[in-house]
Structure 1
Amino acid sequence: MEKYGPETYGDLNADVYDQWRTDLDPTDAVACLAALARQEPAGPVLELAVGTGRVTIPLAARGIDLHGIEISEAMVARMRTKPGGEDIPVTIGDMADVDPGTDERYAMVFVVYTTFFFLLTQEEQVRCFANVAQRLLPGGRFVLECFVPDMGRYQPTNQSVHTHRVDRDSVRLVAVRHDPVDQRFDGQHVLLTNEGIRLAPVAMRYAWPTELDLMARMAGLVRRDRWGGWRGEPYTGAGNHVTVYQKPATDRSR
């Protein structure tokens, strides 16, 4: 999509994000991440792409020393309006840089809701892995929640239109074009109401789980766990997965 940048999704959707994404229940993610954060090594935790704080705020409320980075000022402003959201240090910046404004090293870095795929090139995704590895403490973990691409949804024309929700006075559709060469989805959430039409664009560059594993290996991380969800469900090769990568306990980068 033309004129689509890293901050576009957040800037255009911040005011409706929580309303539209009621399907994203953070309860299981918060519980799992809190348990991981209490494992060794001890240290602060960094969230990439904090958004409106759906996971950030309840996780910090559990006593986790939490820092964040977010490219969209509008998303952070939304988070600041919520109880507890004003107390969490967040740096405005590109999550591929993994730079929350300090030289802090982290016991855990995580990114939820497939937001890692908002990095739109393989180069940016590889750079993110490398920078995460540099900022992790020895034994630290990088946790990602991602989807496994379902190519059948976009056959045979590399596009799809999905009816997401139908209410008495509104319809929400999701229209997507698929570029199989660049592994990219360009889409629009389309809200139709009696008052008019609202568009919410989104672009993603997906990666297969094995590709993520290779990025991790290139960065010096090893895969510790891969689950089918935040409750530790078995991974079946479809749907979403939660993957935990770990930095070796002997850190040779110091």
Structure 2
Amino acid sequence: MDSSGYYDDFAAFYDAAYGQQAGVVEDDVQFYLELAREADGPLLEVGCGTGRIYLELLRADIDADGIDLSSGMLEVLRENAADEGLEPNVREADVTSFRSDREYALVIVPFRAFLHLTTVDDQLAALERIHDVLAPGGRLALNVFTPNFDVICEAYGEPEETTVEVDGETCTYRTVTELADEVEQLARIRSEVLTSDGERLFEREAPIALVSKREFELLFRQSPFSSWDVYGGFEYDPLEDSSQEMVWIADR
């Protein structure tokens, strides 16, 4: 997996578009904060980005580390943390191959970051690495969208735009999600940043995997985890509809 270049140049714009919006995925921040408070030990966030969730953990005095593929995203996170006098412990690392000297009571993979693992080998490698850094009795928690055929048919290909301000300049952050490979069930996220005059500053794309509930079941069965549960959303409701977010919690 290597989507680091997708984010490095975009980091400041990404942070302006998503980093300070707690409701990007409804109720996820509070969900992960509550899990962190329940955990008996330190936490690791995989894909911590510019710190939308990670900085909330630090603000709550939670002992949290973070990893991300993008040095640009981590640079913005550190700048945001410094503005508040917070001291992050984050580093550039790939979840499929990283190692840690610490054992964690909880590992979280929020904001659908797991979907950037687009092969079965990478998905299983990530689960194995996460399992290895968990303390006995530790837990993994992650969330992803449930593939929804209505959304794929009706919304894919349609641009979503957000107005952002970076370094005093107002820009448009535009994303388009497209179905890239029907056989492999891969989508593609195209992102671009436009000035107020319509000039394109950046353009990037990154693949994501469309992973069904059954596929997750198979991944966990092939992983070292001892047990797992899936919920429909962050209130621990049953997963009964494709409009619900898939939330997985697995035990070491």
TM bucket by the smaller chain?
A: 0.7 to 0.9
Q: Matches of 2:121 and 2:86 in 1, distance apart? A: 33
1:143 aligns with 2:146: no
Match of 1:213 in 2: 217
SS, match of residue 128 in structure 1:
helix
CA distance in 1, matches of 2:59, 2:33: 10
Distance 2:188 2:85 in 1: 31
Larger deviation, residues 210-219 vs 20-29: 20-29
Distance 2:21 2:91 in 1: 27
1:39 equivalent in structure 2:
38
Q: Structure 1 residues 85 and 8, CA, compared in 2 at 3 Å: closer, same or farther? A: farther
Give the C-alpha shift of residue 195 in structure 1. 3.5
Q: Partners of 2:175 and 2:59 in 1: how far apart?
A: 35
Q: Is the 8 A contact 1:47 1:110 kept in 2?
A: yes
Secondary structure at 2:107 match in 1? strand
1:201 maps to 2:205: yes
Match of 1:162 in 2: 158
C-alpha distance 104-151 of structure 1, shift in aligned 2 (>3 A): same
Q: What do the CA deviations read for 1:82-107 (whole angstroms, capped 9, x no partner)?
A: 135851111211022243xx321111
CA contact (8 A) 2:173 2:191 kept: no
**Hey, what's the Cα distance between the residues in 1 that align with 2:98 and 2:172?**
39
For structure 1, list consecutive stretches of 5 or more residues without a partner in the other structure.
Answer: 248-254
Q: Aligned pair in 2 of structure 1 residues 80, 35: CA closer, same or farther (>3 Å)?
A: same
Structure-1-length-normalised TM-score: 0.81
- Give the CA RMSD over aligned residues: 2.8
- TM-score, reference length from structure 2: 0.82
Offset at residue 155 of structure 1 (A): 4.7
Counterpart of 1:229 in structure 2 is 233
Unaligned runs of 5+ in 2: 164-170
Could you tell me whether the CA contact under 8 Å between 2:42 and 2:63 is conserved in 1? Answer: yes
Distance between the aligned counterparts of 1:8 and 1:85, measured in 2?
28
Task: Give the residue type in structure 2 aligned to 1:133.
Answer: H
Shift of 1:135: 1.6
For 1:68 and 1:37, how far apart are their aligned partners in 2?
Answer: 13
2:74 is the counterpart of 1:70: no
